[in-house]
């Protein structure tokens, strides 16, 4: 393991004013997104859509530090024959890869899941590194319900995340460690806080046991937020305060940065929460974004599968990337959204 190199990449992933574009939607997920805009989900359409994002030169060169890719995308070439990985690198961003293989039910734990993909991961990581990936991502999801999460779900998911992270570092790839407490359900923000704290403490314990170097990783957690069906929604300030508090309680200062997932929040919500956290300040890590839908919903809609809409889609993507860049510096304001509109 070359820790100096891993730390250099991790620092670049959370560079000031920049965040990570999550473009690693599975075939099933991107089909749903394309269905919503009336576009057939073919390999060429998926390629064209992602290429328009990666060729948004202002967004990619100023606001995006890295891109998480899906297995199909890391192997694809742009329309002109350039590998998409090279398009990303030429923009100044770092290519990465999603390596978990999605979730399956956890035995004897009704309603709970575990990601697959540890078997053969060492060999897959070596191949992805040859294809140009400098970092990887593994997502573990924890649901909140009447009798869940269970100790078994928290522990097995934390252990899998730590084993994945160790294999990444062994292969000189920076792991994004993504423990996500889902915002489905009717729980309030306080319940989300308790579960997030339990999950993060368990994850860092497991990372320690697997000898993962914290200086060579990036954390991608959920924000402390009420469930979508909750009667009481937490304010932007409350979400920011609770999230910063739980991170201070659980995340060692050696971690270079925290890149939040948007997890079903609207574009503006995700930006407002990130901005409010950076306004609180006083934390040892950089707080930035690793958004999928919250960066892509607007450009997807603007594009709608038509080549004449590429420029409009790129403008929409650049706007969202810029808003989130401002949020990482605590400089975002609501009226900037209205001005653009």
Show Cβ contacts of residue 313 under 8 Å, excluding neighbours closer than 6 positions. 52, 299, 300, 302, 303
Considering the candidates 98, 134, 137, 220, report the single residue annotated as catalytic: 220
Phi-psi region of 13 (alpha: psi -120 to 50; beta: other; left: phi over 0): alpha
List beta partners, residue 288: 259
3-state class (DSSP) for residue 222: coil
Domain count, the chain: 1
pLDDT in tens, 255-304: 999 999 998 899 999 999 999 999 999 999 999 999 999 999 999 999 99
3-state secondary structure of 25: coil
CA distance to 73, 172, 174, 186, 217, per residue, from 84 (Å): 7, 21, 20, 41, 24
Is 178 part of the annotated catalytic residue set?
yes
Domain of residue 35, residue span: 3-340
Please report which helix (H) or strand (E) contains residue 283, including its range: none
β-bridge pairing 135-142 and 94-98: parallel
User: Token digits for 58?
Assistant: 């202002």
Q: Which member of 25, 112, 178, 197 is catalytic?
A: 178
Dump pLDDT digits (tens) for 104-125: 999 999 999 999 999 999 999 9
Kindly report the CA angle at 291 between 235 and 296, in degrees rounded to 5?
105
Q: What is the pLDDT of residue 339?
A: 72
Max CA-CA distance within the chain? 53
What count of other Cβ atoms lies within 10 Å of the Cβ of residue 22?
29
pLDDT, one tens digit for every residue, the chain (341 residues): 899 999 999 999 999 999 999 999 999 999 999 999 999 999 999 999 999 999 999 999 999 999 999 999 999 999 999 999 999 999 999 999 999 999 999 999 999 999 999 999 999 999 999 999 999 999 999 999 999 999 999 999 999 999 999 999 999 999 999 999 999 999 999 999 999 999 999 999 999 999 999 999 999 999 999 999 999 999 999 999 999 999 999 999 999 999 999 988 999 999 999 999 999 999 999 999 999 999 999 999 999 999 999 999 999 999 999 999 999 999 999 989 877 65
End-to-end Cα spacing for the chain: 47
Residue 72's domain is classified under what CATH number? 3.20.20.70
Task: Give pLDDT, residue 340.
Answer: 65
For 319, the token pair is 């706007």
Q: d(Cα 138, Cα 168) in Å, to the nearest integer?
A: 10
Instruction: Count how many residues are written for the chain.
Output: 341
Would you tell me how many other CB atoms lie within 10 Å of the CB of residue 228?
Answer: 14
The pLDDT score that the predictor gives to residue 338 is: 79
Backbone angles phi, psi at 277, to 5 degrees: -65, -40
């Amino acid at each position: 393991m070359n820790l100096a190199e891993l730390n250099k990449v991790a620092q670049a992933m959370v560079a000031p004013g920049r965040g990570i574009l999550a473009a690693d939607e599975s075939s099933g997920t991107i089909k749903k997104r394309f269905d919503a805009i009336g576009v057939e989900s073919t390999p060429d359409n998926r390629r064209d859509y992602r290429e328009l994002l990666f060729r948004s030169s202002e967004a990619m060169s100023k606001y995006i530090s890295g891109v998480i890719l899906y297995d199909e995308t890391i192997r694809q070439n742009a329309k002109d024959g350039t590998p998409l990985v090279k398009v990303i690198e030429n923009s100044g961003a770092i290519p990465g890869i999603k390596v978990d293989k999605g979730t399956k039910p956890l035995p004897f734990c009704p309603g709970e899941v575990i990601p697959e993909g540890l078997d053969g991961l060492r060999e897959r990581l070596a191949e992805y590194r040859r294809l140009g990936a400098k970092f990887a991502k593994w997502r573990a999801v924890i649901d909140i319900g009447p009798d869940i999460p269970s100790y078994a779900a928290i522990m097995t998911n934390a252990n899998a995340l730590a084993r994945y992270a160790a294999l990444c570092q062994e292969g000189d790839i920076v792991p994004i460690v993504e423990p996500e407490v889902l915002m489905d359900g009717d729980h309030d923000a306080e319940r989300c806080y308790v579960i997030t704290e339990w999950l993060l403490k368990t994850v860092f314990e497991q990372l320690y046991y697997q000898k993962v170097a914290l200086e060579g990783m990036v954390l991608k957690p959920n924000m402390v937020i009420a469930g979508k069906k909750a009667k009481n929604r937490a304010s932007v300030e409350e979400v920011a305060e609770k999230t910063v508090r739980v991170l201070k309680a659980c995340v060692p200062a050696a971690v270079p940065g925290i890149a939040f997932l948007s997890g079903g929040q609207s574009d503006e919500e995700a930006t407002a929460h990130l901005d409010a956290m950076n306004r609180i300040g006083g934390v040892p890590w950089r707080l930035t974004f690793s958004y999928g839908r919250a960066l892509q919903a607007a450009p997807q809609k603007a594009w709608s599968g038509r080549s004449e809409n590429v420029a409009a889609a790129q403008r929409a993507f650049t706007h969202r990337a810029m808003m989130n860049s401002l949020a990482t510096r605590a400089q975002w304001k609501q009226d900037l959204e209205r001005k653009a509109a």
